Amino acid sequence: MSMKRKVIRIGVLGCGSVGSSFIRALKKNRNLIRERTGIEFFVVKVCDRDRKKAKFFPQLYTSRDADVTNSPEIDIVVELIGGVEHAYEIVRTSIKNGKSVVTANKALISEKGMEIFRLAGQNGVHIGFEASVAGAIPVIKAIRESFVGNRISSMLGILNGTTNYILTSMSLYGTTFAQALVEAQRLGYAEANPALDVSGLDTAHKLSILSALAFGRQIYWRDIHVEGMEFIEAMDVAFTREFGYRMKLLAIARKKGQELDIRVHPTLLPATHPLSAVEGVYNAVYLESDLAGKSLLYGEGAGGTAATSAVISDVVDIGRKLSENNLPSRSGLYEDPRTVVVPMKEISSRYYFRFTALDKPGVLSRIAEILGNNGISIASVIQKEESPEKAVPVLMLTHTAKEDSVQKAVAAVNRLNVIRKPAVLIRLSE
Amino acid sequence: MSMKRKVIRIGVLGCGSVGSSFIRALKKNRNLIRERTGIEFFVVKVCDRDRKKAKFFPQLYTSRDADVTNSPEIDIVVELIGGVEHAYEIVRTSIKNGKSVVTANKALISEKGMEIFRLAGQNGVHIGFEASVAGAIPVIKAIRESFVGNRISSMLGILNGTTNYILTSMSLYGTTFAQALVEAQRLGYAEANPALDVSGLDTAHKLSILSALAFGRQIYWRDIHVEGMEFIEAMDVAFTREFGYRMKLLAIARKKGQELDIRVHPTLLPATHPLSAVEGVYNAVYLESDLAGKSLLYGEGAGGTAATSAVISDVVDIGRKLSENNLPSRSGLYEDPRTVVVPMKEISSRYYFRFTALDKPGVLSRIAEILGNNGISIASVIQKEESPEKAVPVLMLTHTAKEDSVQKAVAAVNRLNVIRKPAVLIRLSE
């Protein structure tokens, strides 16, 4: 092996927890990376709006984006500021100035990915975004490169650490959603405002990126059917656990022929499913494909050093290409215009229901009748006895049914005057 | 994205199950791969010693290696004949003729890897060997590229599907080793001669390759401490399972400072360890590293289409580089001369023992005394009662002890005249 000494210069925009972890790690492991690649990587400029960061990087600090995006000495811009509009502006300027870009910004890629890749192609630069989905897990590289020869049929992902931490706590320790969320915030896993996580929108952003790579069609994240987990109660988790299921906020994308079934919602998986063992803040992606069969990639989905691992992986990939005077590789995204999305009402699934009903004679039979009329067959049921005055939960698992029929049946049940709260509905997945 | 139409021409040497699966899959998914990469891949020559293969590829077949290795129209040679000497000759000739090489041959890479990479560097060609370890699991790419910025501290692998199938059957169904092996052979998972698998040597070949990539030092496979699983009995698996452990034939490599602890032996893992859930013919690699933390890569380790997935991944990687007129990337192997291997006698572990002793009064206390004198403390023990004439198993789990002391103690116990068979010893891992 030749030991050509090459140097790649990096500018970092955004010096929060991932930014400062990246700068530290690149310094700490610089010799290791040089031994492995023959290339030396240096951060030569660090930009952050917060001038207090200057004291940590007295030689490198700037408060002006342009000192990075326009600097002739920078080869790769690492964008870690988050958000869409300002980040997009920075990335565009960098690309137009001939710089390759690495970003951990899932919102940016899921909103503006196609525009960014097009601009990068026109300007002959590289874009890395491994850190935008599932932290340290090399899922983007796996789909783009390792499974490049595979027709992927199914992708199931636990892509949000906060919600998985909450669901694991509820499952293992019987805590309520609210208690588990407070604990997650105390440990730094959940944001002060956890809406993006618990609503499933963070997962939908990431699914939008992965499904584009796996299935050749970018589904805009707003077009993905998304249900959050705010409505989940401890009893839902406990009851279904007893029946051998584990609840996960799951990103689901399955392709059959040209039909893409894509959605995000709380999902019950058999306890024996490989994803059921993914607990706490861990993330995982489970793929089924024609050649590789079943694969699972599991790892740390969040936190400064997990994202740093992925950012360095992209930086080194691009550094290797730049040091070899390559033309840019393709993004791995491509457009398959034949793909059609399966409407939510056409999917089939098994279901878990929680009805909240007055404890009067005949209530269960009225619910069962409505379900039966809609072709929905009950597999198991628990009705908790309480005082006749109070509403009690009726918990059910069904056999496979059509979403359309289920929605009609649930609406009809909700209209019964003995029903005190809208029904809760969770889909099962094999 | 530009849609440059590029064509890469492939010659296949060896048309057994992987070879024919590769040719079929590349044809079936050619359009998909072209959509994803902009490159079209064609097999233009197929060489096999068996002339009966000619009828499957009338246009492409040849019986002469040179028609592939010397052909000016071939860009990439895919070596799938197996074995070391002949394969090495073919690979060398191909490289010298300016062809890049993809191989699934673990014996070749673990024996001749360094020589091959050096020759490839001198000749400006690329070498792909993802399929040589763990089938479809992208472990080589993950270590070389995704975790390139990480200092890896620990690597545990289930790298042999046959032995994992046998151990899973013994654990789940209480079958004997012999029964499980026959079943594995019936299902086509085990070779007629399974010695390379059950002896742990196949796993050692693969560990030699992975540890070179992860730790920068190639340990020749003959220099790795290897224990097979021929001596495992159903009761060993059952007893340890009851105590919450799962038995795996594990590839272990851990680096602390410059010390590399590297070995292959049957290992007991806590049931909650992510590798304990890896059952049947599946393979998995569990990595711990400074930035990415804990990661698991899991998938199909063997079989024609699993290896095919990895071969295509390498072929496409090289095709992308060739179509961009790149210089070759480095192999990811490098030499860290400071690394020293920890001698086996210096390791510490918890242990499982099976002693086979005459069922006489005082036997247990004599064994316990010898262990105590060697600083080994017993955590649990089961002694099965049988007729006083017959030898009975004494099963034990210990607390952490030094290998050196354990070997001395076991040798001393084996010398007792009440002992009827050499002790069986299995290490635990947390």
Residue A354 sits in a domain whose CATH number is: 3.30.70.260
Which residue of A148, A158, A189 is the best one to mutate when testing the B interface, meaning the one whose CB has the most B CBs within 10 A?
A: A148
Do A284 and A406 sit in the same domain of this protein? no
The pLDDT assigned to B298 comes to 97
Query: Inter-chain contact A326–B329, Cβ cutoff 8 Å?
Result: no
The pLDDT assigned to A317 comes to 94
Query: Inter-chain contact B32–A151, Cβ cutoff 8 Å?
Result: yes
How far are the Cα atoms of A3, A300, B257 from residue A137, in angstroms, in the given order?
29, 7, 25
Closest chain A C-alpha to B415 CA, distance in angstroms: 45
The pLDDT assigned to A190 comes to 81
Sign of CA dihedral A138, B319, B213, A149: positive
Give yes or no for B113 touching A (CB within 8 A): no
Of A33, A146, A300, the CB nearest to B149: A33
Question: Is residue B1 predicted with pLDDT exceeding 60?
Answer: no
Do A296 and A308 sit in the same domain of this protein? no
Q: Give me the residue label for tokens 């309480």.
A: A386
> ∠ at Cα A62 (A57, A63), nearest 5°?
125
Least confident range from B22-26, B240-244, B297-301, B418-422: namely B240-244
Give me the active site residues of B, please: 206
Of B36, B299, B308, the CB nearest to A296: B299
Among chain B residues, the shortest Cα distance to A278 is held by B274
H-helix or E-strand containing A192?
none
Query: Inter-chain contact A313–B145, Cβ cutoff 8 Å?
Result: yes
Which range in A69-83, B109-123, B176-190 is most confidently predicted, on average pLDDT? A69-83
Which residue of B102, B291, B320 is the best one to mutate when testing the A interface, meaning the one whose CB has the most A CBs within 10 A?
A: B291
Do A163 and A96 sit in the same domain of this protein? no
Cross-strand partners of B79: B13, B103
- Residues in A closer than 8 angstroms to B326, CB to CB, are 321, 324-326
Of B296, B317, B332, the CB nearest to A36: B332
Query: What share of chain B has pLDDT > 70, as a percent?
Result: 94
Higher-pLDDT residue of B258 and B211 is B211
Give me the DSSP letters along B229-282: STT--HHHHHHHHHTTEEEEEEEEEEEETTEEEEEEEEEEEETTSGGGG--TTE
In the structure encoding, which two tokens stand for residue A188, read together? 């730094």
Give yes or no for B25 touching A (CB within 8 A): yes
Query: Inter-chain contact B33–A149, Cβ cutoff 8 Å?
Result: yes
Query: Inter-chain contact B33–A336, Cβ cutoff 8 Å?
Result: no
- Residues in B closer than 8 angstroms to A336, CB to CB, are 35
The pLDDT assigned to B386 comes to 65
Of A1, A315, A334, the CB nearest to B121: A1
Query: Inter-chain contact B1–A117, Cβ cutoff 8 Å?
Result: yes
Do A313 and A369 sit in the same domain of this protein? no
Least confident range from A26-30, A360-364, B115-119, B150-154: namely A360-364
User: Average pLDDT in the A71-89 region?
Assistant: 96
pLDDT by residue (tens digit) across A240-258?
898 889 999 999 999 888 8
Do A163 and A238 sit in the same domain of this protein? yes
Of B37, B138, B149, the CB nearest to A142: B138
Q: Final residue of a domain: which of B265, B288, B323?
A: B323
Of A141, A290, A326, the CB nearest to B146: A141
Report B:200-229 residues touching A (Cβ under 8 A). Answer: 216
Query: Inter-chain contact A316–B149, Cβ cutoff 8 Å?
Result: yes
Among chain A residues, the shortest Cα distance to B137 is held by A295
Do A162 and A260 sit in the same domain of this protein? yes
The pLDDT assigned to A215 comes to 87
Do A166 and A293 sit in the same domain of this protein? yes
User: Average pLDDT in the A215-222 region?
Assistant: 84
| Residue at A34: amino acid letter | R
Indicate which residue of A45, A206, A248, A255 is catalytic.
Answer: A206
Q: Does A275 reside within a domain?
A: yes
Query: Inter-chain contact A296–B292, Cβ cutoff 8 Å?
Result: no
As a whole number of angstroms, the distance between CA A159 and CA A205 comes to: 10
Q: Does B335 reside within a domain?
A: no
Q: Does B315 reside within a domain?
A: yes
Cross-strand partners of A354: A395, A424
Q: Does B381 reside within a domain?
A: yes
Query: What share of chain A has pLDDT > 70, as a percent?
Result: 94
Average predicted confidence (pLDDT) for chain A: 90
The pLDDT assigned to B343 comes to 84
Identify the band that residue A235 occupies on the pLDDT scale cut at 50, 70 and 90: confident
In the structure encoding, which two tokens stand for residue A269, read together? 């998986």
Which residue of B36, B141, B321 is the best one to mutate when testing the A interface, meaning the one whose CB has the most A CBs within 10 A?
A: B36
pLDDT by residue (tens digit) across A17-69?
999 999 999 999 999 999 888 899 999 999 999 999 999 999 999 999 999 99
Q: Final residue of a domain: which of B301, B335, B367?
A: B301
User: Average pLDDT in the B304-320 region?
Assistant: 94
As a whole number of angstroms, the distance between CA A90 and CA A93 comes to: 5
The pLDDT assigned to B243 comes to 83
Of A2, A137, A145, the CB nearest to B313: A145
Report B:159-188 residues touching A (Cβ under 8 A). Answer: none
As a whole number of angstroms, the distance between CA A415 and CA A418 comes to: 9
Question: Is residue B333 predicted with pLDDT exceeding 70?
Answer: no
Query: What share of chain A has pLDDT > 90, as a percent?
Result: 68
Kindly provide the b/e burial profile for residues A325-363, where b requires at least 16 CB atoms within 10 angstroms of the residue's own CB: ebbbbbbbbbeeeebebbebeebebbbbbbbbbebeeeb
Report B:26-85 residues touching A (Cβ under 8 A). Answer: 26, 29, 32-33, 35-38
Closest chain B C-alpha to A52 CA, distance in angstroms: 26
Report B:337-356 residues touching A (Cβ under 8 A). Answer: none
Do A217 and A115 sit in the same domain of this protein? no
pLDDT by residue (tens digit) across B29-74?
999 999 888 899 999 999 999 999 999 999 999 999 999 999 999 9
User: Average pLDDT in the A255-279 region?
Assistant: 90
Q: Does B224 reside within a domain?
A: yes
User: Average pLDDT in the A260-267 region?
Assistant: 91
User: Average pLDDT in the B3-29 region?
Assistant: 90
Strands B245-256 and B152-158: antiparallel
The pLDDT assigned to B329 comes to 43
As a whole number of angstroms, the distance between CA A378 and CA A134 comes to: 36
pLDDT by residue (tens digit) across A150-179?
999 999 999 999 999 999 999 999 999 999
The pLDDT assigned to B400 comes to 94
Query: What share of chain B has pLDDT > 90, as a percent?
Result: 69
The pLDDT assigned to A256 comes to 84
Q: Give me the residue label for tokens 């207090």.
A: A52
Size of interface A-B (CB pairs under 8 A): 217
The pLDDT assigned to A323 comes to 83
Average predicted confidence (pLDDT) for chain B: 90
Report B:253-282 residues touching A (Cβ under 8 A). Answer: 274, 277, 282
Q: Does B329 reside within a domain?
A: no
Please state the domain count of chain B.
3
The pLDDT assigned to B334 comes to 53
Query: Inter-chain contact A149–B274, Cβ cutoff 8 Å?
Result: no
Q: Name the H helices within A38-160.
A: 66-69, 85-96, 106-123, 139-141
Q: Final residue of a domain: which of B248, B268, B301?
A: B301
User: Can you give the CATH number for the domain in which A157 is found?
Assistant: 3.30.360.10
Could you report the predicted ipTM of this complex, rounded to two decimals? 0.85
The pLDDT assigned to B342 comes to 82
Closest chain A C-alpha to B139 CA, distance in angstroms: 10
Question: Is residue A2 predicted with pLDDT exceeding 80?
Answer: no
Question: Is residue A324 predicted with pLDDT exceeding 90?
Answer: no
Query: Inter-chain contact B306–A292, Cβ cutoff 8 Å?
Result: yes
H-helix or E-strand containing B66?
helix B66-69
The pLDDT assigned to B345 comes to 87
Closest chain A C-alpha to B273 CA, distance in angstroms: 10
Question: Is residue B335 predicted with pLDDT exceeding 70?
Answer: no
The pLDDT assigned to A341 comes to 75
| Residue at A11: amino acid letter | G
The pLDDT assigned to B327 comes to 40
User: Can you give the CATH number for the domain in which A317 is found?
Assistant: 3.40.50.720
Q: Does B332 reside within a domain?
A: no
- Residues in B closer than 8 angstroms to A25, CB to CB, are 149, 290-291
Do A282 and A144 sit in the same domain of this protein? yes
Query: Inter-chain contact B296–A298, Cβ cutoff 8 Å?
Result: yes
Question: Is residue A1 predicted with pLDDT exceeding 60?
Answer: no
Give yes or no for B298 touching A (CB within 8 A): yes
Report B:123-152 residues touching A (Cβ under 8 A). Answer: 130, 135-138, 141-142, 144-151
Q: Residue B167 is part of which domain span? A: 139-301
Do A309 and A353 sit in the same domain of this protein? no
Q: Give me the residue label for tokens 């009761």.
A: B235
User: Average pLDDT in the B421-428 region?
Assistant: 89
Closest chain B C-alpha to A201 CA, distance in angstroms: 25
As a whole number of angstroms, the distance between CA B285 and CA B268 comes to: 16
Do A236 and A152 sit in the same domain of this protein? yes
Identify the band that residue B191 occupies on the pLDDT scale cut at 50, 70 and 90: confident
Question: Is residue B332 predicted with pLDDT exceeding 70?
Answer: no
> ∠ at Cα A238 (A236, A239), nearest 5°?
70
Residues A236, A424: contact at Cβ < 8 Å? Answer: yes
Q: What is the DSSP letter of A327?
A: P
Identify the band that residue A338 occupies on the pLDDT scale cut at 50, 70 and 90: low
- Residues in B closer than 8 angstroms to A320, CB to CB, are 329
- Residues in A closer than 8 angstroms to B333, CB to CB, are 1
Long-range contacts, stretch A246-249, CB < 8 angstroms, 24+ apart: A246/A171, A246/A270, A246/A271, A246/A273, A246/A275, A246/A276, A247/A167, A247/A170, A247/A171, A247/A426, A248/A158, A248/A164, A248/A167, A248/A275, A248/A276, A248/A278, A249/A158, A249/A160, A249/A163, A249/A164, A249/A167, A249/A200, A249/A203
Query: Inter-chain contact B150–A330, Cβ cutoff 8 Å?
Result: no
Residues B159, B139: contact at Cβ < 8 Å? Answer: no
Do A317 and A398 sit in the same domain of this protein? no
Question: Is residue B156 predicted with pLDDT exceeding 70?
Answer: yes
As a whole number of angstroms, the distance between CA B94 and CA B128 comes to: 13
Q: Does A230 reside within a domain?
A: yes
Kindly provide the b/e burial profile for residues B266-301, where b requires at least 16 CB atoms within 10 angstroms of the residue's own CB: bbbbeeebbbbbbbbbbbbbbbebbbbbbbbbbbbb
Identify the band that residue A217 occupies on the pLDDT scale cut at 50, 70 and 90: confident
pLDDT by residue (tens digit) across B69-101?
999 999 999 999 999 999 999 999 999 999 999
User: Average pLDDT in the B102-107 region?
Assistant: 95
Question: Is residue B415 predicted with pLDDT exceeding 80?
Answer: yes
Of B35, B150, B305, the CB nearest to A334: B35
Identify the band that residue B338 occupies on the pLDDT scale cut at 50, 70 and 90: low
The pLDDT assigned to B339 comes to 62
Query: Inter-chain contact B36–A118, Cβ cutoff 8 Å?
Result: no
